[in-house]
Amino acid sequence: MLRATGVSQSFGGERVFDDLSVEVDAGEVLGVIGPSGVGKTTLLRTLALSLEPDEGTVALDGTDAWAAEESDRLALRRRVGMVFQEASLFDASVRRNVEYGLRVRSAWSDRIAAAVGLAETPDAVHESLDVVGLADKASQHAASLSGGEAQRVSFARALAYDPDVLLLDEPTSDLDPRNTAVIEDAIAEARDRDIGVVVATHDMHQAERVADRVAVLLDDGITEVGSTERIFEDPSDERTRKFISGELVY
Amino acid sequence: MPLEPVAQSLSAVFGAPEAHDLSLFFNLSLLLDFSLFRDLSLFLDLPLFLDLPFREGYVRSIIYVSLYVSVTAVTLSTLFSVPVAVLVGFSEFPGKRFVKSVVNTGMGFPSVVVGLLVLFAVSNQGPLGSLELVFTREAMIMSQFVLATPPITAITLAAVSGVDDGVRDAARALGGTRLDVALVVLKEARYGIATAILAGFGRAVSEVGSVLIVGGNITSADGISKTRTLTTAIQLEARQGQYETAMVLGAVLVALVLTVNAVVVHFGDEGVTR
């Protein structure tokens, strides 16, 4: 469904990754593991169509996003959701945060009606909050939430508009075990909804728990992609094996 | 000139005036100053406003002119400044720091110089001479626009630039267009923008020098303000020794600023709960 082929990215003349290819299908969870600073976030932003690659293509269902017209690219971008490491909630209620993605996709008349409080809250908002166990917090202000709750709202915000692909950038790196478990359950729920999920994480145990396939991203790009079981039990690449066993220290 | 000592000296020379001795006051008012008449009447403990030579509606017309000029200037300035600040805040271009420096410098620009420049612009020989704007409210609006624009732009720019990049990223990742992202940033920066507008309003409504130069501090023959504002009226009244009137007008000015501030804060607080 979402496929990056031969993509390269650089910032300030410095290459982040080169000739990298990765894909995720509907109803699949792809874990991208690798040490901090190796370019996982840049890869996810590239997949989210927020960053144009220096080289290569990013295609959704065969449509090359960066070869398409801007309006078509916006339509493609709106089929992809992303959750960042920081929740970055808007200065508004939980409900307003979660319905944002739905509102930007609706007509201006509906948006104005919602802004002045004349529109009903879409069912998808309650359903998404229910997935992350925060249905009772809809009316609270985002600033009143704990860090874990804020990240769960951030997940619900991306889930509410039913994306085809969901990209998660270190979604539980700052969370306690309970909130981590809620997010991991929500990832499973997204997969059950036939959403393709990409989880970038430096927590290999988490990748082992949630991912169907794993891509290992090291300094020189993706060293290996395969089923989670094979990557963790029988990696074919020597650098992957060293990274997973902890011998490759960053 | 302080007139109470003068009145006391007169009463010492002529003896304490009797309330019925109106001819004395009439002569004094002709000989000395019309405003002295008011001070002498105060000397007799007459009610403060009873004998002011203001026609009915004088103070009201001053408040109206002040509000009309300042609100119009600040509204126009906001419509100009906020988009400019968002544009500058959102984009990277060579000379951005220079633009910021120019805007910040504008905050300290002397108001009398602004008044002088606007007066030149609207004078007969100026580029806007054909519009015949000298000593009009429109010219006052122009000068207040020039004065209010730098603080509104600079503070809005600071507020917009201070919005967390993560919020912009989130708005975009959730499917927002550039306009959607800009609207989110404006909403996040709303307190800063409200402060910017208040600062602009504060500068405009409390301004004396430029509105005096371009407006002329004019009242009509019936005492109703044409281009007289609260500040220029306070300046005039104080210069004429009408300190009580000046104080009343000053209190009205402070009350106006406080009211506008309270309204903005109230709506800002309401917005948070949505």
Alpha helical stretches, state H, chain B: 4-14, 22-31, 34-43, 58-90, 96-107, 111-122, 137-161, 165-173, 178-188, 190-205, 209-215, 230-239, 243-272
Residue B177 is nearest to which of A74, A88, A96, comparing CB atoms?
A74
A232 has a chain B CB within 8 A of its CB:
no
Question: Given a cut of 80, is residue B266 above it in pLDDT?
Answer: no
The model's confidence at residue A11, banded by pLDDT at 50, 70 and 90, is confident
C-alpha B75: how far from chain center = 13
Average pLDDT of chain A is: 92
Average pLDDT of chain B is: 80
3-state secondary structure of B211: helix
Whose tokens are 């100026």? That residue is B126
For residue A242, the model assigns a pLDDT of 87
Mutate which of B174, B179, B267 to disrupt the A interface (most A C-beta within 10 Å)? B174
Whose tokens are 């004396």? That residue is B208
Closest CA of chain B from A230, distance in Å: 33
A88 has a chain B CB within 8 A of its CB:
yes
Chain B residue numbers touching A81 (CB-CB < 8 A): 173-174
Torsion of Cα atoms, B228 then B231 then B234 then B236, to 10°: -50
Is pLDDT larger for residue B7 or for residue A215?
A215
Give, to the nearest 10 degrees, the angle between helix B58-90 and helix B137-161.
40
Among the ranges given (A31-45, A132-146, B1-15, B61-75), the one the predictor scored with the smallest mean pLDDT: B1-15
B178: nearest CA partner in chain A: A74
Query: Do B173 and A100 lie within an 8 Å CB cutoff?
Result: no
Question: Given a cut of 90, is residue B28 above it in pLDDT?
Answer: no
Tokens of A187: 């990832």
Whose tokens are 């089923």? That residue is A227
Query: Do B274 and A90 lie within an 8 Å CB cutoff?
Result: no
Query: Do B187 and A91 lie within an 8 Å CB cutoff?
Result: yes
A134-138, B105-109, B240-244 — which one is most confidently predicted on average? A134-138
Q: What is the pTM of this model?
A: 0.76
Residue B273 is nearest to which of A89, A101, A141, comparing CB atoms?
A141
Q: Taking residues B112-119, what's their average pLDDT?
A: 94
Query: Do B174 and A84 lie within an 8 Å CB cutoff?
Result: no
Chain B residue numbers touching A48 (CB-CB < 8 A): 173
Q: Which residue from B19, B2, B161, B20 is spatially nearest to B88, judged by alpha carbons?
A: B161
Sign for the CA dihedral angle at A211, A213, A216, A222 comes to negative
Sign for the CA dihedral angle at A78, A80, A86, A92 comes to positive
Q: What is the DSSP string of A125-193?
A: HHHHHHHTT-GGGTTSBGGGS-HHHHHHHHHHHHHTT--SEEEEESTTTT--HHHHHHHHHHHHHHHHT
The model's confidence at residue B270, banded by pLDDT at 50, 70 and 90, is low
A202 has a chain B CB within 8 A of its CB:
no
| CA B210 – CA B192 distance, rounded (Å) | 27
Q: How many interchain CB pairs under 8 A, A with B?
A: 57
B183: nearest CA partner in chain A: A104
Question: Given a cut of 80, is residue B96 above it in pLDDT?
Answer: yes
Residue B274 is nearest to which of A74, A92, A101, comparing CB atoms?
A92
| CA A130 – CA A101 distance, rounded (Å) | 17
Mutate which of A50, A70, A100 to disrupt the B interface (most B C-beta within 10 Å)? A100
Q: Taking residues B105-134, what's their average pLDDT?
A: 92
| CA B76 – CA B105 distance, rounded (Å) | 20
B→A interface, C-beta within 8 Å: 164, 166-167, 169-177, 180, 184, 187-188, 272-274
Query: Do B274 and A77 lie within an 8 Å CB cutoff?
Result: no
Question: Given a cut of 50, is residue B195 above it in pLDDT?
Answer: yes
| CA B142 – CA B146 distance, rounded (Å) | 6
| CA B232 – CA B214 distance, rounded (Å) | 12
A104: nearest CA partner in chain B: B176
Write out pLDDT tens, residues A85-112.
999 999 999 999 999 999 999 999 999 9
Question: Given a cut of 70, is residue B20 above it in pLDDT?
Answer: no
Task: State which amino acid sits at residue B96.
Answer: K
Query: Do B173 and A50 lie within an 8 Å CB cutoff?
Result: yes
The model's confidence at residue B56, banded by pLDDT at 50, 70 and 90, is low
Chain B residue numbers touching A147 (CB-CB < 8 A): none
3-state secondary structure of A17: strand
For residue A249, the model assigns a pLDDT of 65
CA distances from A183 to A168, A169, A186, A205, A225 (A): 10, 12, 5, 14, 24
The model's confidence at residue A250, banded by pLDDT at 50, 70 and 90, is low
| CA A5 – CA A21 distance, rounded (Å) | 4
A97: nearest CA partner in chain B: B171
Instruction: Count CA atoms within 13 Å of residue B153 on its CB side.
Output: 24
Q: A132, A156 in Cβ contact below 8 A?
A: yes
